Structures are given as structure tokens and as C-alpha cells.
Structure 1
């Protein structure tokens, strides 16, 4: 009876300690969230500095994201980017410094990847039904493809810094920043937080993340890499980081099927066709979310062999998850293997 009593007391004490620990962690965490860029955002802050009102902080973050949407959305007819796309002039068109910054980053990665990332791919995205208001589930004709490909090519854009402006070589060039704008938004929030004296945070917009400091347990933040299976929300791998940014691009969620064949929303701008290789997703860890976002897209388009080769050559920390008949196979660059992580892969057959 005495042993049972001590055992029961021990269990109760353990439960109390666990509950207190969880409560203490929750008390240290401020969690803000909302909708933006056709997805959701989340901001987690450990030990919010005294004097900062979380409601005011939340409003300021929402306002910042509204401003970015007002600059870069192709879904808002009155955004700066939409107005630029409607402008058929081929002389210099004045734009914001923010647009120039994002375009310059994108153009650099376009040159690095030899066109695997291309912000002028918008006409093809729309033709395939993956753009704003262009939903379809039919494969376009080759004639339509060739006509739209004439409007695609990152070299048809020129950038000027002072005063900020962009010039099109063709008046009908259409720019789509969806492969880089979320990452830019994450970076802007991170910069805003640090300007407020906040240095322990995790910012997420649609899966693109930036991290600083530690989580509520006092340890580095843990970032989940999703297993690339449509219709599921399962974790493939966990990363542990105290700084940097993480972005993942995949071809397993947004697609349509015709005659038993799947067509992904990820297009190769060089061919105009959806990618067909077996690379399911690419995760990139970088200093900024903007660059990680764009690099992940470029590497996904390049595929498991060319993408890995470029990532190794440029010392990019990248994880490639490849679909095989036996299940998923991971290939990581040397830079990625230096990051602490846990493999949660379970073998499956398809």
C-alpha cells in the first residue's frame, strides 16, 4: 500500500511538473497569425520585450503585408505589379525600390540557373490555368504554347536602380513574382521585428520561414519539412536552427489530371511544360527567405541531377526528396548535412 501510495504521488507530481512546464512555455510564447498572399502567415515570438503591445504589433505586421501585396500581387488589379503588367510601353517604367530589389534577386538566380527560374513565366502559368482567374484542366495546344513562349525570357527585362525603374523589351511582358514574393514578405517581417528589439522569433508565410534565436523551451527553433504526399500533412524531417531561413518548393499539391496524366503547376520556363521528373520537393536553407524561396523553385525545376549539381557547386544547403518505386529517397548537399536534423522517413511503396 505504501509503495502504491508513493507511486501514485510520483505520477501526480510528474503530471504537475509537466503541466507547469507547458504552462511556462506557453507564457513565454506570443503567437500572431492571419491571411496573406493567398495563404496564411504566422509569427511566433519568445519572450516578447516589455512595453510592446502584441495587438499593436499584430496590426503593424498585417499592415506591412498589405503594403507588400499592394506592390507585388498579380491577384490585385490595382497592385503596382498588375499596373506594370498592363503597361505596354517599352521605355523605362517607374517602379518602387521594393520591386527593383525583388526583381534583381530573381534575375540573379535566373542567370545562375540558366532560366530555370524566370519571373516572366506568367503568360505560360496563366495559359496552363494556374494563374489568377485562369483556371482550366486542359492541356494547351502546341500553337498556344509557342505563342506564349515568345513573351517569356528573363533577359527581356532591364532593371535600373536610380531612379528605380524597369524596361521591357516587349510591351506584353508579364511578370509573376509568386516564386519569390512570399520569401520577401517573410524577410520584411523579420526586419520589422528586429527593429522593435525582438530577436527570438519564427516567421512563416505559406511554408517559407525565417528564424532567429530560440523557442519557448530555450532551445533552437524546430522546423518541419513536409513529406511530399498530396492530401497528407506528415513530417519527413525536422531541422533545428537558431538563425536563417527555410523554403520548400514541391510539385505534389497544385496540379490537374487529363487522360490519366498529372500536370504540375511547376512549369519549366525554358520549355513551357510542367516538370516531369521524379523530384517531389526541394528545401533550401539560406540567410534570407527571399533567396531561399527563389532557389528552391529553381532547383525543383532543374530536377534531381542538375539541381543537386548546381546546389553543390554554389554551396547551397539543400535537401532533395525524390519519388522512387520503393518510396522516397533523400539527397542532401554537403552544406545541408552540416545542419542538425532528424530523419522521420518511413518506407512506403507506391
Structure 2
């Protein structure tokens, strides 16, 4: 058996034209990058050329601090994070956390409710059992009894938020915010740039994106949805998210194989098993990257037919890539059409 873990970007940011600095043009494109939540982040924005380097250095310090705070709040890989301490607690008493953690948990619960429980952030015991959490890969596939034991610890109905306090009614409850926290991190940085009066930016963390404005007066920010193949990096479709967040969920770069069978990292809370259907990639555009992050995973869990019906019923901008016998089929909702970019 072997396991394949690849740190991947579902979205490839295309090259953006750099605004020159001259007497007639005092705007310049600023880029910097770093690492957070186990993935790389990239930030590009347009700024006045004068003193832009010093301003960018100061902003990067603040951004790294903001992302470090999100990790300290919501990481399951840190034993001393707020979320890990809540997971370690066996008390049913309210557990006070930061407003940010309470916000992300509240939105996760809301998304669980509208998706009939498909997005379930209490699925952590199953994720860990299958080897896609901090505990990493087990030596053998879970037994039916191990699956049943893990599922007994899962259930969004056991989790609630009261103000800035999390409450669990199942002492074994384990919350994993990996489906919403990264998108929240994107929103956090975008909101900071808004506060800095940056009118044009592109923020990306591990493939989740939020965009605002334009890189220059003649074009929008353009993003590429990646072709869902594990052996190459290629473009499936160009899109322009405009002033929105964007997230992609896929099962083609994080999985393991045993005896020729492939096991996705996306675990269905209803069955306790990795998903097994023809939908291989889902991209969602929404004003909130946190919400787009959760919705992309939700639709991925539902599968092609149910996922498309859900997206249409809720008027969600969704782009789906479905594996067929002849390659890949693209399906998208009417709400997604305005964001498509014709390749030339």
C-alpha cells in the first residue's frame, strides 16, 4: 500500500501584467508570499510606487501575524490551539474561544444545516481514522468496528455556539475546520487590505482566492481552474471571480491506494467512507471565501447529480468537472456563467 500526499493548488494564478513606474504611471504591482496552514500563500496588489517597498514589508508582517493567529485558533495540528483544546476537553460546559473561531464554527454549522449534514466539521474522527488528519496513515484499512466507533463520535447536532463559546453534548466530539478555516484566512487578509484602502488585490492561500478590483485598467484578475489529473499541471477553464471569494475542492491530488483501490481524503459523514463517484472537482464563487470553501466541499460530497441540483436550488455559482469514459465533462450553473473567460 502507499499513500500520496501532495500540497496542491487547485487554482493556478495566471501571470499578471506588471504596472510600470514612470512619470505618467505611479502605480506598481506588489507581490509577496509565505507559508501558512501547511500550504503556500501568495498576495498581489496594486499600490502607489512611492514608498511601496517599505509599506509592503510592514503589511507582510501584519499578514503573517494574522495568519499565525488563525493557526493558533483553529489548527488541529497544534495541540495548544483553541480548537485542539476544545477537542481535548470532555466537558459539556461552554468553552470560550475567540470571536473568529466562534464565527467559523457558526458558519460551518449553518452550512451543515443547508446541506443536510453533508458538510460536517465533526467528521474529524473519521478523517483521522482514514489517515488524512494529524495522526496520518494507519497501517491497514479501518475495520467495520473501527468505523462504527468513529461514527459514534460524529454529529453536527452535538455542536453549538453560544456567543463566543463552543458547546459539545458528546464528550468525544472532535471538530476539524479544514473545510472552512483556510477560506476564513483568505477573508481575513482581504479584509485587512480593505482596511488599508487597497482597491485592487488578489489573495490566495493553498488555492482558495479572494479578488477585488483589477490588476490594471484594461483587464480583470484571471484565474485558471486546474485540469483534474494527478500527473501534470494543466488548465481546464479560465475564470474571473471579480469581487468575490473562490474555492475549489477535488480528490485527485490527496488520496491513498491499496490493492488497486483509490481512497479519497474527502470523507462522507453519512457512510464514514471516502467518496466514490465521478465528480472530481468543484469550484464555487461566493462573496465570502470561507463560505465558498465550505460549499465546494459540500457539493463534492453530494456527487454530480445531487450537487448540481443543490447548487441550482440555492443559486450558487458552481463549476463541476465530472469524469467520463471519454475524459472530463464540464457542468456549471447559470450563476457561474458571468465568471467564465473565453480562452483565446
On whether the aligned pair clears a TM of 0.5, the verdict is yes
1:159 CA displacement? 0.9
Q: Secondary structure of the equivalent of 2:194?
A: helix
What is the match of residue 249 of structure 2? 249
Write the distance in 1 (CA, Å) between the matches of 2:118 and 2:335: 22
> 1:312 is matched with which residue?
312
Distance 1:198 1:277, change over 3 A: same
Q: Which has the higher helix share?
A: 1
Q: Which runs of 4+ in 1 moved over 4 A?
A: 48-52
| Paired position in structure 1 for 2:14 | none
1:34 alignment partner in structure 2: 34
Shift in Å at residue 287 of structure 1?
A: 0.5
1:299 matches 2:285: no
TM-score normalised to structure 1 length: 0.88
Secondary structure of the residue aligned to 1:241 is: coil
Residues 286, 292 of structure 1: 8 Å contact kept = yes
Alignment partner of 1:24 is 2:16? no
Higher RCO (C-alpha 8 Å, min separation 6): 2
1:338 counterpart SS class: helix
Provide the C-alpha distance between the structure 2 equivalents of 1:256 and 1:271, rounded to a whole number of angstroms.
18
Pairing 1:60-139 to 2, within 5 Å after superposition: 60-136=62-138, 138-139=140-141
Give how far 1:32 is off.
1.1
Distance 1:91 1:32, change over 3 A: same
Conservation of the 8 A alpha-carbon contact between 2:19 and 2:216: no
C-alpha deviation, 1:91, in angstroms: 1.7
Question: How far did 1:51 drift?
Answer: 5.2
Q: Where do 5+ consecutive residues of structure 1 fail to align?
A: 1-20, 345-350
Spell out, residue by residue over 1:109-153, the C-alpha distance to the aligned partner (whole angstroms, 9 max, x if none). 111111111000000000000101322363210110001100111
Cα distance per residue 1:152-209 (max 9 Å; x no partner): 1111101101xx1111111110000000001000000000001011110000000000
* Counterpart Cα distance in 1 of 2:231 and 2:72: 32
CA RMSD of aligned residues (A): 1.8
Once residues 169 and 198 of structure 1 are traced to their aligned partners in structure 2, the CA distance between those partners, rounded to angstroms, is: 44
Question: Deviation per CA, 1:14-58, whole angstroms, max 9, x where unpaired?
Answer: xxxxxxx86728972100100000101011002347555111111
DSSP-derived class of the 1:178 partner? coil
Q: TM-score, normalised by structure 2?
A: 0.90
Aligned counterpart, 2:8? none
Aligned residue pair count: 322
CA contact (8 A) 1:248 1:296 kept: yes
Match of 2:270 in 1: 270
SS at match of 1:167: strand
- What residue in structure 1 maps to residue 153 of structure 2? 151
